[in-house]
Chains A and B, each alone.
Chain A
Amino acid sequence: SQQGEEDPQALSIQEGENATMNCSYKTSINNLQWYRQNSGRGLVHLILIRSNEREKHSGRLRVTLDTSKKSSSLLITASRAADTASYFCATPRGDNAGNMLTFGGGTRLMVKP
């Protein structure tokens, strides 16, 4: 798979359920970021997890990072219809703060009310 590939590509759940999205990457990273994109809109940064962290929480979001498997997961708990969006993982190339981000293909999440 390419750097920053998410699965599943699409996920449909009922409101109140949890949604789990996975991301795999190929090269070494110093952090991994998750972004959200509502249809036709810009990207909103959700959470950044550093390579020395294993888990991070932000509200209803929980992100894990397994550098040995080169994978990350994003869990949204108690989902709401407003969580319907595409979710992307992104990894920077290199250690420089300005390095390019490589985005995965995204997971399209639909939360049905």
Chain B
Amino acid sequence: EPEVTQTPSHQVTQMGQEVILRCVPISNHLYFYWYRQILGQKVEFLVSFYNNEISEKSEIFDDQFSVERPDGSNFTLKIRSTKLEDSAMYFCASSEAGTRSFGPGTRLTVT
């Protein structure tokens, strides 16, 4: 069964550095998403992407964040200048319609 994959599984970075989290959605899916989960807290929506543009974003998704689909398979989340509070699990998801398939997540630790 096809799965969403994410790399790396764990990323440690220093405050102020840029990070790029990578995702390979399921190939025939049309909608792509990023969510995050700070340790012990709810899963929070960041952004959705459809037809090569952002279709919806939350208040969390400020100017420090950007997404890109650089080719036919990858979907990336870039954080330009990381802050301590960006430490979280970041989940990529994709869907045709309705249910989302989530990736295993990237644990981002900002020190």
Contacts and interface: CB of A to CB of B under 8 A. Distances in A.
Nearest to B102: A43
Interface stretch (B13-21, B43-51, B69-77): B43-51
Contacts of B78: none
A27 B54 CA distance: 24
B55 A98 contact: yes
Given A41-B105, A102-B45, A104-B42, A97 B56 contact: no
A88 B105 contact: no
A100 B97 contact: no
Contacts of A44: 102
Given A43-B102, A48-B98, A101 B31 contact: no
B55 A42 contact: no
A97 B95 CA distance: 8
Given A42-B105, A98-B55, A103 B42 contact: yes
Looking at chain B's contact residues, the main secondary structure is: strand
Given A41-B104, A43-B43, A99 B98 contact: no
B96 interface: yes
B100 A45 contact: yes
A64 interface: no
Interface of B: 30-31, 33, 35, 41-45, 48, 50, 55-56, 58, 89, 91, 93, 95-105, 107
21 contacts: A33-B99, A33-B100, A40-B107, A42-B102, A42-B103, A42-B105, A43-B43, A43-B91, A48-B99, A88-B43, A97-B96, A98-B30, A98-B48, A98-B95, A100-B33, A100-B56, A100-B58, A103-B35, A103-B43, A104-B42, A105-B42
